[in-house]
Each structure stands twice: as structure tokens, then as C-alpha cells.
Amino acid sequence: MFGATSAIAEQVARLYAAKGARIFLAGRQRERLDTIAQDLQVRGASAVSTYGVDFDDVAAFGPMVEACGSPDRTLIAYGTLPDQQGAEGSADLTAKALLTNFTSPAVLLNLLADRLHSGAAVAVITSVAGERGRQSNYVYGAAKGGLSRFLEGLRHRLAPKGIRVIDVRPGFVDTPMTDGMDKKGPLWAKPERVARDIEKALERRDGPIHTPWFWWGIMAIITRVPARIFHKTKL
Amino acid sequence: MVIARRAEQVLSWGRCHRFDHVRLIPGTIDEAREAVRGEGPVLPFGLGRSYGDSCLNDNAVLIDTQRLDHFVSFDEAKGEIVCEAGVSLDAILALLATKPQTDGYWFLPVVPGTKFVTVGGAIANDVHGKNHEVEGTFGRHVNWFDLARSDGQLLRCSPEENAELFAATIGGLGLTGLVTRASIRLMKVPSLMLEVEDIRIRNLDHYFEVAEESRSGWTHHAAWVDVLAEGKAAGRGIYTRSRFTTCENSKEAKSGGPRVPVEAPSWAISHPTIKLFNAVYGRKLFGEMRRTECTPYGPVFFPLDGVSDWNKMYGRGGFYQYQCVVPKDLARESTAALLPTIAEDRQGSFLTVLKEFGDITSPGMLSFPMPGTTLAVDFPNRGERTLELLDRLDAITLDAGGRVYAAKDGRASAEMLVQGFPKLETFRRYVDPAFSSTFWRRSAGTR
Ligand SMILES: Cc1cc2nc3c(=O)[nH]c(=O)nc-3n(C[C@H](O)[C@H](O)[C@H](O)COP(=O)(O)OP(=O)(O)OC[C@H]3O[C@@H](n4cnc5c(N)ncnc54)[C@H](O)[C@@H]3O)c2cc1C
């Protein structure tokens, strides 16, 4: 689990703990990692190790990937939700958003890819926001969209080796990352729900998935709206 | 640290109290400690399974414990579980089901009628189960907990350490501080199956007879009562008693039952539908006088959990649950007075339950149970008419020296509550100055 303190990763980890898995948790907040590790241990994980890392520091990835060995299942779940308007006026914010949400996972995936064995599966959380650039969050959307394209290529590369690459595209999920938003309405999903979809995909799927599934339909429409109509919306 | 905060309207389970709140959602114990030092008045919030206003804090702050949901340790030799306060009993039971022991399973000694409550909420209401006569309340099985106070302290409380604060917090309605972690003692059961016996009850006298007779050999008891039965038939219903056992030929446990998607229209809960339900349910035994079967604990302990959001059945107005206990020596007489008052008024609903409390005392200062008989009834909220009926029930309870359950209350008079809590004055000393609730301001604020 890379980004193990993320709400979705934590729920996925619980599903694997219940199956008695050995789990490697990498994340920035040491104390939270320890809390989560204890919890997973109680829930049935046969071993849990933690690794403190700042995912913006891509130079530090070598030893981390070394420490995690050759995982059967990998989830990359870190990311930030940058303030779009802030980023529009700030080179720093834009660069940082792209670093955390695109460059960093891309670097990590390339390092990891060499260590994976046949039958392994990697899931990476991208976003429905990556499927069409929109004025309200195209910096985040571009990073996630770029990551989706990266995964597409990686999948192409690893498929002959029997390694599956899953691009997880959640819609609105009720996690600390989205605490600033109004969470009313039927489109919001709980992280437990999204975690179940991810676990299922890690066990049998390949390619992109939407979670909850209905986002597939929503995005099919949104990506097909002609620009002259799309540009009139505030999306 | 940036603690998540949302401004929103929050309803309690009965859906007739809705207020604006600021909801803080700490993700760690450190954040929780910071949240309690906040703007005040604050109140901890679990899964909102309290019916009335005791889990609400109108126009003030709720500290939502949903993200404090981590286990800390599970000692399989001693049967002791340590977890954060936002862990639900559901999560604990699910975990225990995956940890068979050589001689059975560990289980929570006390569970309320729904498993969707948090450990913090179970402590703060000192909840009881169908086995009060055998195990007492939830609070009796707490080894210790950590309590975050608004002065920044995090205090370990147990019967030995900070004993007074321990007693005040058990049943303390969230007013003494925020429980962050707790250690719970488990009990060993031979399997996760129950032998269940349903007995048709003719009337109230028959209820007391069966209750008496069931004391030997059975651990869990409750009777469903046909609330519309009057005269000689008052108290008619079905007595269900059960005990853990090892048995085969079980019914499969089903997961994920139906859901009530939206608030039901008001006719859904009306006199004719209630009458129909009671008639049908009352025939559950199909003429048999008694029936024994072997069943997973879920449907026996948590029958309502099979229908998600069943509280929306009562429509926009919501409903009140009235739960009182009347002391042993007057139990028969007072219950005999309560039932016809409810029947005559024709407002009562599907769920009417009679249950016995035993004399195991709780460590809690404001704990609800006392030796005697407890009655719980749901009433759709019809405004004044309903409140007036509940006042009449209060009068009978008060007369008998009984009390009402704060977890279910949203309207009883201050007088009622003062009588119900003989240790109220001692309790006041342990209330955290930054903590309050709608219930507390409404009831104990006035003497
Ligand atoms: C279908 C159903 C059946 C029920 N059956 C029973 C029953 O058989 N027996 C019984 O006793 N009760 C029963 N109840 C009531 C329920 O058990 C209690 O109301 C319980 O306390 C709810 O827990 P909660 O986590 O939802 O807490 P909430 O309702 O959210 O809060 C309850 C109280 O706990 C406090 N609190 C919550 N978390 C903490 C914390 N971390 N630290 C300090 N205080 C905290 C709150 O401030 C509040 O005062 C039933 C409820 C329902 C809906």
C-alpha cells in the first residue's frame, strides 16, 4: 500500500488483512501508520510493516521499493486535491500538484514494474477527473489523466508477463481529501464501497474500472458532449 | 492539524429532532484531543442511534467519532479487546466471528437491539441487552477507557484509576469528556448459534409467569406485545427466550436485507396498518403454543438491523420511542396501568417490548436499568397529541418510582429526569465544562 493512510487504501488493507495477508504500508504520517498497522494486525494480517516516506521525494524511492520486496498485490493510493484557482496563478502549486499526482506515481511504477512476478496485480487510483479537462480542476485532471495514459502503456508492457495493471477511477468518495465539499446527494460513495470494488479488481480484472460502476455511464456522456456545448457549462 | 468540519443539519434516530450543527471529524486521537478543546459546547457523536436529543447539540459542535475506528489489540487468551471509541459493535462481532477458539468463540457480553452503535456510544448510554439479569450493563464489562477532557488531559479511567470519572462516564451521556479508546472484556460462548424458544403469551399475568419460569436455564429474554390488545388480553404477545448453544441444522444467516429508501408517506404508519401488522406478527407461531429453533445470533439480537433505515418508515415527522423501567415491587401493577393507556389512545406502533432487568448494579452514576420491568414502545410523532400521551405514561412511571431512558428521550420533563437520576448532583461535578447537549440543556439545566 503506497499512500496507506488514505481512507480508501486503509479500507482495502482491511479486506486483505481479513484474508491473513502480509502487508507493507508506506506513507508520510508515522503515527497514523502505526495505528493502522496495529488495527490490521488485530483484523488478521499475518504481518504488517510500515515505511515512512514523503512521496514528493522521488529520489528516496529506491530503498522503499527494495523494502517492499515483490508484492502480489499493489495499491498506489496517494494524491492531493490541489486548489485549481490557486494553481492557475502559481507555478509552484502547479508543479507540486503534477509532481505528487503524476510524476511521483509514474517514477514509483517504473521502479516497481521490474520487481513484479507473473500473476501480480497493481491498482492505481486515478480519477474520473482525468477523463476530460474541465475549467474547474484541469491541473488535477491532467495529472490523473496523464497517469491513466501511463498505466495504459505499462499495462501493454506487462501484459505479456502475466501482470495486470488496473486503473481505478473513483467518482466522489467521502474521505478526508474531499472534506471541503458538500457531500449530499446520491453520487457520493463511502470508501468501504470503493475498496470492495478495488479488491475485486485486484483479484480478477485488468484495465480501467469505474467505482461505483455508474460513473462509467456518467463519464461516457461527459466525454462525448461537444465542446461548443461543454464550454457553456460551469463543470 | 486540520480537523475536518462540516456545517450541517443532524437528526437523531427518531428523526423528530433536527438541528443545525458543526460536525468535527477527527482522524486521529491527537486530532480528537484538539477537537474537544474547541469552540464549545461540544458533544461526542457515535452512530446517532439514540432516538431523541441526547446525542444532539443544537447550534453547537458534534465531535463525530466515525474515523476513530481502529482496533488496538485483541488478547485471545484473556478475551480482552482494545479499540478506539468509534469502532462499532458490528465491527467487533464481525472480527470475533473470524477468530474461533478451541472451545467456542469470544463474544460481547452485552449488546443492545442494534449492532450499529459505537463503543463510545455503548459506554455513554451504558447500554443493556436481553440478558441484563445475567450480565448487567455494558459498563460492567469495561476494563478501562481513555477520556479526553477539554483542559487537554487524556485520563486513563478504570475502577481503580480515576474511579469517580469512570463511574460518571459510564452512562454519562457524553458529558464528561470524549472516550478515545476502551478495553472491553469478552465472554466465551460455545458457538455463534442460539437455541431460541417462542412462547405465545395470553396476557400480562402470563408474561410474568413465563418470565419467572424462564430465569433458570435461559439467558436472553424479551417479549413482543400486541399493543392494541385490550382488557383481559392486554399484554398478549410472544415471549422469546434464548441461550447460546451448539446446534446444527441452522437457518443460514442472510446478509444485506431490504432498505427503506425514502421517508414513507404518513398513511404507511396508521392505525389500520399497525393493526394488520400486529395481527400478522401475532400469528407468527401459527397456532402453536411454543416453538424452538436454532438460529444465528444476528436475527435474534438485532432483528431490526435487517432493514436499513427502517426509521424512515415513520415519514417526515419521525417518531418517539418511549422506554421506561418500573421497579420490581410495583412492576406488575404499573405495567398493567401503562398498557391500557397506550392501547386506548391508539397511537402505539409496531414495536412494543417488555423485558426484565435484574439486580446486578452498574458502575455508572446515571445508568438507566434498575431491577424491574422495562417497556419500550414506538409512537409516530403526531405532535401535541403524542406528547400529551407520553406525559400520561410519565406520570405512571413517576408514581411507581421508575425512570425513562435518556437514550430514547426527547421530551420528558426535568422533574422526571431528576427523579430518575438519584446521583445527578454527584454527576454534575464530573461534567466537562466545555461539554453539553440539547438534552442536558433541556433537562438538567433546570432543577
Ligand atoms: C434499533 C435500536 C435498538 C436499540 N436497542 C437498545 C437496547 O436494547 N438497549 C439499549 O441500551 N439501547 C438500545 N438502543 C439505543 C442505543 O444502543 C444507544 O442509543 C447507543 O448509545 C447508541 O450508540 P451510538 O454509537 O449510535 O451513539 P450516539 O447515539 O451517537 O450517542 C449516544 C451518546 O453517546 C455519547 N458518545 C458517543 N461517542 C462517545 C465517545 N467516544 N465518548 C463519550 N461519549 C460518547 C454521545 O454524546 C451521546 O450522549 C437501541 C437503538 C436502536 C436504534
Task: Name the minimum distance, in Å, from the CA of B353 to any CA of chain A.
Answer: 34
Q: How far is CA B297 from the centre of its chain?
A: 17
Q: How far is CA A142 from the centre of its chain?
A: 14
Whole-number Å distance between alpha carbons of B146 and A137: 42
pLDDT at site B21 = 94
Average of pLDDT values for A109-130? Answer: 97
Whole-number Å distance between alpha carbons of A228 and B433: 59
Does A181 reach chain B within 8 Å, measured CB to CB? no
Average of pLDDT values for B102-116? Answer: 97
First to last CA, chain A: 32
Out of B122-136, B252-266, B289-303, B403-417, which region has the weakest mean confidence (pLDDT)?
B252-266
pLDDT at site A28 = 94
Query: Which of B179, B233, B188, B230 has the alpha carbon at shortest distance from B206?
Result: B233
Flag whether pLDDT at B80 surpasses 70: yes
C-alpha dihedral sign at B28, B31, B35, B37: positive
pLDDT classification of B417: cutoffs 50, 70, 90: confident
Average of pLDDT values for B275-293? Answer: 67
Does A179 reach chain B within 8 Å, measured CB to CB? yes
Average of pLDDT values for B152-167? Answer: 98
Contact criterion met (CB < 8 Å) for B72 and A31: no
Does A204 reach chain B within 8 Å, measured CB to CB? no
Flag whether pLDDT at B284 surpasses 90: no
Helices (H), A19-137: 30-42, 61-68, 84-88, 91-98, 104-113
Cα nearest neighbour of A43 on chain B: B95
Report the residue from A42, A179, A183 with minimal CB separation from B73: A42
Task: Name the minimum distance, in Å, from the CA of B416 to any CA of chain A.
Answer: 38
Whole-number Å distance between alpha carbons of B422 and B419: 6
Cα nearest neighbour of B99 on chain A: A44
Does B1 reach chain A within 8 Å, measured CB to CB? no
Ligand 1 nearest-atom number relative to CA B54: 49
Task: Name the minimum distance, in Å, from the CA of A38 to any CA of chain B.
Answer: 6
Query: Which of A177, A213, A156, A198 has the alpha carbon at shortest distance from A101?
Result: A177
Flag whether pLDDT at A146 surpasses 50: yes
Flag whether pLDDT at B251 surpasses 90: no
pLDDT classification of B293: cutoffs 50, 70, 90: confident
Average of pLDDT values for A127-132? Answer: 95
Contact criterion met (CB < 8 Å) for B71 and A176: no
pLDDT at site B257 = 61
Helices (H), B118-247: 119-124, 132-135, 163-169, 204-214
Does B6 reach chain A within 8 Å, measured CB to CB? yes
Does A20 reach chain B within 8 Å, measured CB to CB? no
Does B70 reach chain A within 8 Å, measured CB to CB? yes
Cβ atoms of A6 and A25 within 8 Å: the answer is: no
Average of pLDDT values for A142-149? Answer: 98
For B172-231, the pLDDT digits (tens) are: 999 999 999 999 999 999 999 999 999 999 999 999 999 999 999 999 999 999 888 888
Kindly report the average pLDDT of chain A as a whole number. Answer: 95
pLDDT at site B346 = 81
pLDDT at site A178 = 87
Flag whether pLDDT at A223 surpasses 80: yes
pLDDT at site A181 = 85
Average of pLDDT values for B123-137? Answer: 98
For A37-94, the pLDDT digits (tens) are: 999 999 999 999 999 999 999 999 999 999 999 999 999 999 999 999 999 999 999 9
C-alpha dihedral sign at A154, A158, A159, A164: negative
Cα nearest neighbour of A7 on chain B: B67
- For residue A166, give every residue at least 6 positions away whose Cβ sits within 8 Å of its Cβ, in sequence order, or none: A121, A122, A123, A124, A198, A201, A202, A205, A206, A207, A208, A209
Kindly report the average pLDDT of chain B as a whole number. Answer: 91
Percent over 90 (pLDDT), chain B: 76
The residue type of B278 is N
Angle subtended by helix axes A91-98 and A138-158, to nearest 10: 30
Query: Which of B25, B66, B28, B18 has the alpha carbon at shortest distance from B46?
Result: B66
The residue type of B412 is A
pLDDT at site B447 = 39
Contact criterion met (CB < 8 Å) for B25 and A36: no
Task: Name the minimum distance, in Å, from the CA of A153 to any CA of chain B.
Answer: 36
Contact criterion met (CB < 8 Å) for A32 and B98: no
Distance B117 CA to ligand 1 centre (A): 6
pTM of the model: 0.93
Flag whether pLDDT at B12 surpasses 50: yes
For chain A, helix, strand, coil in percent to 5 are 50, 15, 35
Write out residues 80-139 of B within 8 Å (CB-CB) of A: 83, 95, 98
Give kind and range of the element (H or E) at residue B391: helix B384-399
The residue type of B425 is E
Chains A, B: CB pairs < 8 Å: 33
For B376-392, the pLDDT digits (tens) are: 999 999 999 999 999 99
Contact criterion met (CB < 8 Å) for A38 and B73: yes
Distance B223 CA to ligand 1 centre (A): 22
